[in-house]
Structure 1
């Protein structure tokens, strides 16, 4: 980076040129060519993370052509029944909250370019006249300290922009994870609605039969009340599940960013079947520590604080250093006019504060960030282990229902039908078994839903994009503010 010392050396200026302080302006113009906006506003990193991690496309909508292209892709996906993958893709193209995040990334790039530019010089001119005399003074002032620390500040700005890119990528992964969770809950609710609808039909027939038998005296009041209670409870369960399915569907529509005629999305009535084999992740902790976006952000925050600490230590004694080139013209009616050139230097004397306070604050902020990073790495390992453990257990539970419980319930139901046909059991024993089979089917659906939710949580634990604890988020926000304050 060009040195700023020659600015304060007036004899080095050629005769007849402008004042020496004009070199401040010249240096600013030269240095300003080093900063420019990227063609994609930093979206390359976000697109890379989305493509490698969740195999999805992202777009930052800035023009009418971008909007038309995204809308066309969304319309094409909505023509078919949504799978979980197509639902995620629709959300990444249509969710306006995510687009606002990409706008924040573009704003972060403007901060990068602005912080990478040298400070603008200040030009002032004064004209004083009286008693026939005239004095004109021109002054160009440049902040030498800001120029001297420009490389440090540029590097800090670059690291903050990298952090903003990872933040946008993390928000992208978070939206994808939220869509997966709500999608599986919505489809599971639809499947349970279908099951409870059949159960209600059976319970209604049983209640009607019990009422007729009660009229003939073949069934006592206790058994009649039991069948009526089962019908009433099943009706209430069905109404509750329908409401849950409708609410889950609306949450999914909000995440997809749909409105108007597009809200009529088509969803499957059954959850996907279990995979034939569960995932085997022997290096789950290493993968999580390597790929977690929030951990990468914490590492960048630590690097920013380290740079900020170095800058604070280097400039602890000097917080103000301005140099001004001065040109003064005086016209006296009683004497010949004359011109004066020179410079003015202004700096702060560190008598009371030698920068120890700022250095101590920067050092403690760095130590705090280091400890939080270590804590986060430990938590990431634990979260990954627990997510994989839950994933395997829910897979085993759901598989147990599919392989053991439901086949046995089917055998029992078929045997009860045969015995009812041969009049070995009465209708109420058959209906009791039917209620038990409905309960097993419901538990199997919920177990399968829990597995798919656990798989989504496992992806989040490895790649990032999860919902952190409020305390951790507060600490992270405080650390970010401290890093931003220590950079100046």
Structure 2
């Protein structure tokens, strides 16, 4: 009977997957992002990733290329994949029955207590093995979703870093051109002042305009360097790889924005945080059932014991040594405390998951509104503001050359043109950031909202007997 039971349990044991549990990550990343994610666990895999990285860096870097490099080269992400492999090993271990143990010991006194203790412990471990195996499998599924969440987070952070870096570079390039023109105008004003052709007030206006642009350019270059370093960190690059080239301008706006009427439903269905929460609830339910099954056994432990007595035959003192087992029978507590605690823990996780679902719906709506608003603003600058500013700038320059307006009017228009162009670049940057945030709001890309439920699951599953 025991042999057949052991064979049945062994047949249900989990085994290691060929890809170390990466199937969920690779399938989702390939389908939704159009990229490849891989856990680099061999020298051949590392060499293949290095070859792909070198090929992508040999060309001007795009946002998609930056994301792909990060998915292959970011060491923090590889550490998350290592945690997934650890979780798989723990899941396989949790599905295994207790190892048979044979021990020989010499005890002064009866040995029945020790034998009884070992039999009961093995029976309990075997009886709870199916439930503990299901809990271990649920934890592994959770680890897979966590790895996917971390992958999406790295991809989103890299894409944001790319757009910020390119926009900072574009703005620095524009201000460099404006500063060059202002420098020429300032030098010309100085020469005119020396000949008496321009008064000191107009000279000072030209000089301060050039000085302001010089300060703005220095700030823009510093920001561009910092944003580039942020992109480098996201991609995990160092050494010779730092010489990569980026685009000089952000991509143009799409011809029309996306229309997503069912974004709330899509977010609730696909968001990784909610998938993790559902798995946690499943594990909590199994832990709750396990608590009910074993709630009448509170303590089952063995310890060394000794008792001194006087031998009736010899009259000498003697000491009996051996093991003593204490089994607390719940006369006053029939497991009601554990049942109530399990129910409260489960409902705590339910309410946390419900709260997260409500927040995900709200975040999806807000992300879509921000996406549409940023598109409309960027499109307005592109189609209305910048063309009008060019007309005004050209006409102002013609009037200045015809000596119909003074230099102050020309400088005022130049400042307004610079401000409008800067705002247009930032509006395009905000649109592409909003596009990334919209995708993140639907799919997820972090581990927010999981802490409370994860701690609850750990606390509830701790009630399971260990073999």
- Tell me the equivalent position of 1:380: 360
Distance in 2 (alpha carbons) for counterparts of 1:286 and 1:313: 36
Distance in 2 (alpha carbons) for counterparts of 1:59 and 1:436: 49
**Of 384, 398, 402, which aligns to 1:418?**
398
**Of 317, 329, 336, which aligns to 1:356?**
336
1:31 is aligned to 2:9: yes
Distance in 2 (alpha carbons) for counterparts of 1:150 and 1:482: 19
1:286 is aligned to 2:279: no
Task: Output one character per residue of 1:146-174: Cα deviation in whole Å (capped at 9) or x when no partner.
Answer: 11111111111111110000000000000
Structure 2 contact 374–431 (Cα < 8 Å) conserved: yes
CA positional deviation for 1:199? 1.6
- Tell me the equivalent position of 1:19: none
Residue 432 of structure 1 aligns to a residue whose secondary structure is: helix
Distance in 1 (alpha carbons) for counterparts of 2:352 and 2:21: 27
CA positional deviation for 1:419? 2.4
Residue 207 of structure 1 aligns to a residue whose secondary structure is: helix
Residue 204 of structure 1 aligns to a residue whose secondary structure is: helix
1:367 is aligned to 2:372: no
**Of 276, 288, 310, which aligns to 1:309?**
288
1:402 is aligned to 2:382: yes
Task: Output one character per residue of 1:23-76: Cα deviation in whole Å (capped at 9) or x when no partner.
Answer: 6xx855763452321111111111111112211111111111111111111111
CA positional deviation for 1:397? 0.2
- Tell me the equivalent position of 1:18: none
Q: TM-score, normalised by structure 1?
A: 0.83
Distance in 2 (alpha carbons) for counterparts of 1:485 and 1:223: 79
Distance in 1 (alpha carbons) for counterparts of 2:293 and 2:64: 52
**Of 410, 424, 444, which aligns to 1:430?**
410
Structure 1 contact 188–271 (Cα < 8 Å) conserved: yes
- Tell me the equivalent position of 1:84: 63
Residue 405 of structure 2 aligns to a residue whose secondary structure is: coil
CA positional deviation for 1:308? 1.0
CA positional deviation for 1:367? 0.8
- Tell me the equivalent position of 1:201: 180
- Tell me the equivalent position of 2:148: 169
- Tell me the equivalent position of 1:276: 255
After superposition, the CA RMSD in angstroms is 2.6
Structure 2 contact 71–151 (Cα < 8 Å) conserved: yes
CA positional deviation for 1:222? 4.2
Structure 2 contact 277–450 (Cα < 8 Å) conserved: no
Distance in 2 (alpha carbons) for counterparts of 1:182 and 1:406: 26
**Of 427, 430, 433, which aligns to 1:453?**
433
Residue 102 of structure 2 aligns to a residue whose secondary structure is: strand
- Tell me the equivalent position of 2:128: 149
Structure 1 contact 125–138 (Cα < 8 Å) conserved: no
**Of 443, 446, 463, which aligns to 1:463?**
443
1:238 is aligned to 2:247: no
- Tell me the equivalent position of 1:475: 452
Structure 2 contact 150–447 (Cα < 8 Å) conserved: no
The verdict on how the C-alpha distance between 1:200 and 1:45 changes in structure 2, with shifts beyond 3 A counting, is same
Task: Output one character per residue of 1:225-273: Cα deviation in whole Å (capped at 9) or x when no partner.
Answer: 3333322222121111111111111111111111111111110010000
Residue 444 of structure 1 aligns to a residue whose secondary structure is: helix
The verdict on how the C-alpha distance between 1:221 and 1:188 changes in structure 2, with shifts beyond 3 A counting, is same
Number of corresponding residues: 437
Distance in 1 (alpha carbons) for counterparts of 2:67 and 2:248: 18
Q: TM-score, normalised by structure 2?
A: 0.87
Distance in 1 (alpha carbons) for counterparts of 2:203 and 2:453: 62
CA positional deviation for 1:306? 1.2
Structure 2 contact 206–411 (Cα < 8 Å) conserved: no
1:53-68 correspondence to structure 2 within 5 Å = 53-68=32-47
Which has the larger displacement, 62-71 or 160-169?
A: 62-71
CA positional deviation for 1:487? 4.4
Residue 260 of structure 2 aligns to a residue whose secondary structure is: coil
Residue 462 of structure 2 aligns to a residue whose secondary structure is: helix
